[in-house]
Chains A and B, each alone.
Chain A
């Protein structure tokens, strides 16, 4: 079945540091890939997404590129802020027979803490 593996956290950085959170996946067909963010005490918010190979999703300074050859979707940000402290989830939705069935498979989540 489909699966998503994220780098283990927690990740602790100083403000303005460079961030990379690794994500690799296993899926049949052509999945869509997502990064979701969960701030303390809140639900998940879509951060960015990519629906086909070589697509780059970007939002709020975060970027991730859909790499089919390495089955990866690593999240990056050039300069993190304290307000970026949250839990980040990599996820995918699979396709079957040309139809998306919408079911999300999540990675285990990576806790990011940014210090001033």
Chain B
């Protein structure tokens, strides 16, 4: 149990386009989902926290108008990178948190974004 999927697993796009990444909890309902960004050989940086049906809470320094997060249901959250630029190229990872499971977060496999 506790499987989280992400789609797509990798994407290449042109500069200026927008890219949507989906994060789904497959066998449980996630009260909260998190979005992280990971640079090569570095740790995960939390970008934002989203709760179903409410606005996402962004970490300091993360542009909310650039990284749009929608958490439409208890099993789906989406991250849209708007007007992507080469510096947005990174590995984006989501996680889902279910209260009562000992504060454990379950991570998706990640989405590698390359902006040309």
Contact = CB atoms under 8 A, between A and B. Distances in A.
Interface of A: 32, 34, 36, 42-46, 49, 51, 89, 93, 100, 102-104, 106-109, 111
Interface string B1-30: 000001000000000000000000000000
Interface stretch (B65-73, B78-86, B98-106): B98-106
A106 B45 CA distance: 8
Given A42-B110, A109-B43, A104 B102 contact: no
A51 B102 contact: yes
Nearest to A111: B41
A102 B103 contact: yes
Given A32-B103, A93-B103, A100-B103, A43 B93 contact: yes
Q: How large is the interface on B (under 10, 10 to 19, 20 to 34, 35 or more residues)?
A: 20 to 34
Nearest to B102: A51
Contacts of B106: 46
Which of A46, A104, A106, A108 is the most central at the interface, judged by chain B CB atoms within 10 Å of its CB?
A104
Given A32-B103, A104-B95, 14 more contacts: A42-B109, A43-B93, A43-B110, A51-B102, A51-B103, A100-B99, A102-B34, A102-B49, A102-B97, A103-B34, A103-B49, A104-B34, A106-B43, A106-B44
Contacts of A102: 32, 34, 49, 97, 99, 103, 105
17 contacts: A32-B102, A34-B104, A43-B93, A43-B108, A43-B110, A44-B44, A44-B93, A45-B107, A46-B104, A51-B103, A93-B103, A100-B99, A102-B105, A106-B43, A108-B43, A109-B42, A111-B41
**Which 3 residue pairs across A and B have the least CB separation, nearest first?**
A43-B109, A44-B107, A102-B97
B106 to A, nearest CB: 7
B86 to A, nearest CB: 22
Which of A34, A44, A46 is the most central at the interface, judged by chain B CB atoms within 10 Å of its CB?
A44
Given A44-B93, A102-B32, A102-B97, A89 B104 contact: no
B31 to A, nearest CB: 8
A52 to B, nearest CB: 11
